[in-house]
């Protein structure tokens, strides 16, 4: 048995015997996804914020990594960052749970379809809020028994649809359920007040983000070389990423030797302003791509088929005109990264099957200089 299953009841009793303000107030939204999920969640956050009563504060609990995108949230929204890996440490778990309990929220909402009974669900229940709400969770054989048992602990549970559904559409449906106000799902485009200021660039610039935490999603350096060579004369290229990305992927370093190509290591909060002035963003299906799409920048996504039906391409009703997805249909599309096929040159077969000529043609079309 895991240690926290023994200590949680003890810490729970300790919390109930401690002081907290008398009247519950405020809304806590739990969003336990990564960077890309946080970008997409920011699009529907204003709808969830409508759940706050007059004078109440809206707080969003994020994973520590996903919190790097919280600069996209509407003004006035508070953020609580939790290191989920450290929730295995009794002292850290005890402190975080106690802080959530003392906050005494009136309403706690889990916005995640994929939930873990010992992590985000445990955080929600530690709040001991008088009102709670969640979606019926994604099936997860390892945890289904406990997730089902926990269903009785939520005040309201929403059946949001099948296991494969566009994230933004699913969130919009859930917000409709909670607010009682039906509205179309929002396009993947931030509201003006959520947009960071644009940072001017001295000449037409294309940003390329070729890196992914899942290396099998990365297209080969030669394809990016072809993209760079297809750009109009005088344009510059910035390859975006963390400096460690080049250490992990040394075969991409020669791209920096091409004329007009530099490396851009800016963190997302600074990169966003640069992207707003870009002529085009070319990216694997990762957080940078979602950020560019939400900022309204012309974006070309070189996607795997792994998350088709849930993340990329976006559902028709939320698809912005500025984004173009290139991906190869596969019988196994929607595997959610659980690829059962042999890699092709260290890539998912669906990524290896991308047509380089089609990619280059799309780049030329999207960078065409019109009179």
Q: Is residue 207 part of a domain?
A: yes
Sort strands 299-302 and 280-284 into parallel, antiparallel or unpaired. parallel
Q: Which of 145, 161, 186 is the last residue of a domain?
A: 186
- Chain centroid, CA 348 distance in Å: 21
Number of domains observed in the structure of the chain:
2
Q: Which of 146, 164, 186 is the last residue of a domain?
A: 186
Residues lower than pLDDT 50 in the chain:
1, 371
Residues 156 and 237 in one domain: no
pLDDT at 1: 47
Residues 197 and 154 in one domain: no
Q: Is residue 35 part of a domain?
A: yes
CATH number for the domain including 362?
3.40.50.2000
Residues 180 and 200 in one domain: no
| Domain limits for position 17 | 3-186
pLDDT at 34: 96
Distance between start and end Cα atoms, the chain: 69
Residues 132 and 29 in one domain: yes
Rounded to whole angstroms, the Cα distance separating 8 from 95 reads: 12
pLDDT at 17: 72
Residues 81 and 170 in one domain: yes
Q: Tell me the pLDDT tens digit for each residue of 204-245.
A: 999 999 999 999 999 999 999 999 999 999 999 999 999 999
Q: Is residue 268 part of a domain?
A: yes
Q: Is residue 157 part of a domain?
A: yes
Cα 243–246–252 angle (5° rounding)? 145
pLDDT at 370: 55
Sort strands 131-135 and 280-284 into parallel, antiparallel or unpaired. unpaired
Residues 200 and 175 in one domain: no
Q: Is residue 83 part of a domain?
A: yes
Residues 56 and 113 in one domain: yes
Q: For residues 326, 39, 293 and 232, what is the CA-based torsion angle, rounded to 10 degrees?
A: -90
Q: Is residue 371 part of a domain?
A: no
H or E element in which residue 224 lies: helix 221-229
- The structure tokens listed for 67 are 């919190």
pLDDT at 258: 97
Residues 80 and 132 in one domain: yes
Phi, psi of 184 (to 5 degrees): -60, 150
Query: The whole model's pTM is what?
Result: 0.95
Residues 314 and 211 in one domain: yes
Rounded to whole angstroms, the Cα distance separating 314 from 189 reads: 12
Residues 117 and 237 in one domain: no
Residues 122 and 261 in one domain: no
The owner of tokens 């390892």 is 142
Single out the residue of 112, 101, 201 nearest to residue 158, CA to CA: 112
pLDDT at 371: 45
45 near 29, Cβ under 8 Å? yes
Residues 228 and 209 in one domain: yes
Q: Residue 314 in 3-state DSSP?
A: coil
Q: Which of 156, 186, 216 is the last residue of a domain?
A: 186
Q: Is residue 300 part of a domain?
A: yes
């Amino acid at each position: 048995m895991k240690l926290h299953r023994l200590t949680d009841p003890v810490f729970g009793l300790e919390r109930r015997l401690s002081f907290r303000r008398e009247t519950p107030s405020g809304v806590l939204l739990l969003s336990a996804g990564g960077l890309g999920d946080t970008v997409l969640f920011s699009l529907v956050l204003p709808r969830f914020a409508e759940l706050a009563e007059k004078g109440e504060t809206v707080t969003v609990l994020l994973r520590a990594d996903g919190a790097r995108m919280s600069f996209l949230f509407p003004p006035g929204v508070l953020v609580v960052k939790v290191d989920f890996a450290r929730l295995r440490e009794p002292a850290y778990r005890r402190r975080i749970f106690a802080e959530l309990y003392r906050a005494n929220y009136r309403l706690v909402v889990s916005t995640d379809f994929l939930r873990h009974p010992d992590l985000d669900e445990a955080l929600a229940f530690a709040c001991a809020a008088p009102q709670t709400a969640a979606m019926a969770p994604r099936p997860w054989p390892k945890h289904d028994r406990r997730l089902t048992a926990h269903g009785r602990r939520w005040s309201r549970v929403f059946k949001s649809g099948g296991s494969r559904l566009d994230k933004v559409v699913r969130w919009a449906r859930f917000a409709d359920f909670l607010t009682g106000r039906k509205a179309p799902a929002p396009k993947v485009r931030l509201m003006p007040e959520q947009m960071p200021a644009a940072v001017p660039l001295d000449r037409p610039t294309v940003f390329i983000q070729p890196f992914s935490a899942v290396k099998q999603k990365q297209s080969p350096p030669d394809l990016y070389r072809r993209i760079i060579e297809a750009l109009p004369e005088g344009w510059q290229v910035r390859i975006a990423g963390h400096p460690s990305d080049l250490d992990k992927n040394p075969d991409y370093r020669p791209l920096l030797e091409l004329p007009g190509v530099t490396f851009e290591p800016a963190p997302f909060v600074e990169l966003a302003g640069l992207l707003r002035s870009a002529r085009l963003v070319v990216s694997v299906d990762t957080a940078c791509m979602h950020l560019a799409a939400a900022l309204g920048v012309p974006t070309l996504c070189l996607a795997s088929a792994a998350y088709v039906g849930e993340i990329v391409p976006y559902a028709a009703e939320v698809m912005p005109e500025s984004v173009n997805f290139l991906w190869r249909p596969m019988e196994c599309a929607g595997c959610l990264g659980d690829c059962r096929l042999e890699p092709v040159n260290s890539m998912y077969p669906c990524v290896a099957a991308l047509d380089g000529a089609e990619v280059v043609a799309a780049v030329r079309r999207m960078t065409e200089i019109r009179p």
